[in-house]
C-alpha cells in the first residue's frame, strides 16, 4: 500500500486541470483521486506501480493509441540533483523545478531526459505535476475487455487481424485496440487447468518457481468471475472508443 512509501500525496491546483503528485503515489490511488476530480490521463493498469517511476519510463496505457503516453502530460517535475566534486568531499544536492515549456536548454535537456529515461538516472524526483484532461469533454466513451485462454493459434489470429488493420490504413483516431498476453506465477490445481494450454504456453508465462507451489482453493476458483483475476495464461483484447475527431 502507499503507507509503505513516502511522498505519496495528491493535490489539485485550484482552478486548473493540473495535479501535483508524490512519486510514491500508487496508480490505484492515483486513479481513485483522478476519478473524484473528474480528470484523466493515459496511464497503466498495474495498481502498485508508482507515479514517480511510471512517468520516467513513458507511461504506456491501453488508451495510448488515442491519447499518447503519460509522459506527454507531465507539466513539471521537482528533481534533486547531485552537486559538487566528490573527489574534493563536495557532496551536496540541488533542488530543481523543471518545466516542460522552459527556454533554458540545459533545463529542457534534463526535463526530457528524466521523463523519457529510466527512474533515478538523473536525480531524485520528489514531485510530478501533470496537466490532465477533463472527463466532461469526452462523453459516452466506451471500453471492452475480452479474455481467451492462451494458445498460439488464438494469439496469431488476433495479431493477423491487427496486421490487416495496419495494411489497410489503420484504425480511426477515436478507436484504440490492444492485444495483451498474460501469464501467472500462481496456478490452479493440476486437474483444473487445460493440459493443452499448459503444454502450448511458453514456460515463462507460468512465472518463476522459487518457493512452495501455491494453489487456489475450490471456493476461490468459483469466485473468479472477474477475467482480470484468472490465474492461467490468457490473451486479452482491449477495445476502446472515445470521440476525439467528432
Q: Looking at the chain, how many residues does it have?
A: 246
pLDDT at residue 73, rounded to an integer: 97
Nearest to 231 by CA among 183, 196, 164, 163: 183
Distance (Å, whole) CA 69 – CA 116: 10
Nearest one of 159, 102, 110, 129 to 22, comparing CA atoms: 129
What value does the CA radius of gyration of the chain take, rounded to a whole number of Å? 22
**Three cell numbers at 39?**
480528470
- The pLDDT of residue 204 is 42
Entry pTM:
0.75
In what side-by-side order are the strands of the sheet with 175-182? 142-149, 234-241, 175-182
d(CA 2, CA 50): 9
Per-residue pLDDT tens listing for the chain (246 residues)? 455 567 899 999 999 999 999 999 999 999 999 999 999 999 998 888 999 999 999 999 988 989 999 999 999 999 999 888 888 888 889 999 999 999 999 999 999 999 988 888 899 999 999 999 999 999 889 888 888 877 888 889 999 998 898 888 888 889 888 888 877 544 444 444 444 444 444 444 444 433 333 444 555 545 544 444 555 677 888 889 998 877
The continuous run of DSSP H or E covering 179 comes out as strand 175-182
- Between CA 19 and CA 32 the distance in angstroms is 13
In the structure grid, which three cell numbers stand for residue 5, read together? 512509501
Residues forming beta bridges with residue 153, ordered by sequence position:
none
Question: What integer pLDDT is reported at residue 222 of this predicted model?
Answer: 53
Q: Residue 36: count other Cβ atoms within 10 Å of its Cβ.
A: 10
For 19, 92, 156, the CA distances from 70, given in Å and listed in that order, are: 13, 31, 29
What pLDDT is stored for residue 52 in this prediction?
93
Residue with cell 488515442: 66
HSE-CB of 165 using CA atoms within 13 angstroms: 13
Question: What's the pLDDT at 55?
Answer: 93
Q: Which residues contact 172 (CB under 8 A, 6 or more apart)?
A: 245
Rounded-to-integer distance, Cα 26 and Cα 28, Å: 6
Cα distance between residue 76 and residue 65, in whole Å: 23
Q: Which residue do the cell numbers 517511476 mark? A: 53
Q: How much is the pLDDT for 86?
A: 80
Which pLDDT value is given to residue 213? Answer: 39
CA distance 73 to 75: 6
Amino acid at each position: 500500500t502507499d503507507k509503505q512509501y513516502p511522498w505519496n500525496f495528491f493535490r489539485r491546483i485550484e482552478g486548473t486541470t493540473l495535479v501535483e503528485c508524490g512519486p510514491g503515489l500508487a496508480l490505484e490511488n492515483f486513479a481513485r483521486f483522478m476519478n473524484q476530480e473528474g480528470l484523466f490521463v493515459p496511464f497503466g493498469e498495474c495498481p502498485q506501480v508508482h507515479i514517480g517511476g511510471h512517468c520516467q519510463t513513458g507511461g504506456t496505457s491501453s488508451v495510448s493509441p488515442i491519447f499518447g503516453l503519460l509522459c506527454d502530460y507531465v507539466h513539471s517535475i521537482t528533481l534533486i540533483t547531485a552537486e559538487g566534486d566528490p573527489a574534493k568531499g563536495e557532496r551536496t544536492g540541488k533542488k530543481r523545478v523543471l518545466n516542460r515549456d522552459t527556454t533554458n536548454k540545459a533545463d529542457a535537456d534534463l526535463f526530457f531526459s528524466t521523463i523519457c529515461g529510466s527512474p533515478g538516472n538523473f536525480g531524485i524526483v520528489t514531485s510530478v505535476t501533470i496537466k490532465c484532461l477533463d472527463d466532461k469533454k469526452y462523453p459516452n466513451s466506451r471500453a471492452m475487455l475480452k479474455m481467451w485462454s492462451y494458445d498460439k493459434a488464438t494469439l496469431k489470429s488476433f495479431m493477423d487481424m491487427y496486421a490487416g488493420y495496419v495494411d489497410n490504413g489503420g484504425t480511426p483516431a477515436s478507436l484504440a485496440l490492444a492485444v495483451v498476453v498474460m501469464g501467472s506465477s500462481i496456478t490452479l490445481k493440476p486437474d483444473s487447468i487445460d493440459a493443452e494450454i499448459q503444454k502450448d504456453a511458453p514456460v515463462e508465462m507460468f512465472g518463476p518457481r522459487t518457493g512452495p507451489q501455491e494453489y487456489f482453493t475450490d471456493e476461490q476458483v468459483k469466485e473468479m468471475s472477474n477475467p482480470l483475476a484468472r490465474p492461467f495464461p490468457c490473451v486479452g483484447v482491449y477495445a476502446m472508443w472515445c470521440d476525439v475527431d467528432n
